[in-house]
Chain A
Amino acid sequence: EAQVTQNPRYLITVTGKKLTVTCSQNMNHEYMSWYRQDPGLGLRQIYYSMNVEVTDKGDVPEGYKVSRKEKRNFPLILESPSPNQTSLYFCASSPGPHRANTEAFFGQGTRLTVV
């Protein structure tokens, strides 16, 4: 089944403790993104990747890192999480950039709480 898989689905952590949220897609998509969703703010893009070893900042990249060493995986790293990073996070993939009329396939989300 074609899917985007995020892990974990739920995570409670403490301020400053490094964490990684994994994202994997099985559709051989080139383009992958991370979003955060907050009440009243909608979805905002954190980072995106056009292909292996090609990543770039989205609208809200501060406090996050990503890597794209393999086509299928795009982990989101919080080196020193803070309470303002408490949010619902989504990974998405698509065959190519959206200007090429491609749709995004979303993972089920990771609800992160930083205390």
Chain B
Amino acid sequence: SQQGEEDPQALSIQEGENATMNCSYKTSINNLQWYRQNSGRGLVHLILIRSNEREKHSGRLRVTLDTSKKSSSLLITASRAADTASYFCATAMNYGGSQGNLIFGKGTKLSVKP
């Protein structure tokens, strides 16, 4: 069951620009996480935001969460060519038998041109 949907599916920007990716989800969540995947490699955790938080920062990353709209955004400021990767949101629900599980979206493919 797909919970999160990222938008856009693909994003191409120049180095130094900001990149914004959005994630929408369907059901009530406990937390939302963002992961990065370099081509065909394992996912790496970037940031976790809890359902009672609205904004979180980590280095050049800024994540917002709007539980009323069931959406989140990931902003990467001053992007670098090394940020080229796919970015996934993942939600942990707070009800039901699968409360332990993460449900991933399909990802946004970011390309940063030097």
Chain A interface (Cβ < 8 Å from any Cβ of B):
4, 31, 33, 35, 40-45, 48, 50, 56, 58-59, 88, 90, 92, 96-99, 101, 103-109, 111
Contacts and interface: CB of A to CB of B under 8 A. Distances in A.
B59 interface: no
A23 B14 CA distance: 38
B75 to A, nearest CB: 20
Contacts of B33: 98, 103-104
A83 to B, nearest CB: 20
Interface of B: 1-2, 30-31, 33, 35, 40-45, 48, 50, 88, 90, 92-94, 97-107
B92 A109 contact: no
B92 A99 contact: yes
Contacts of B103: 45
A98 B1 contact: no
B7 to A, nearest CB: 13
A52 to B, nearest CB: 15
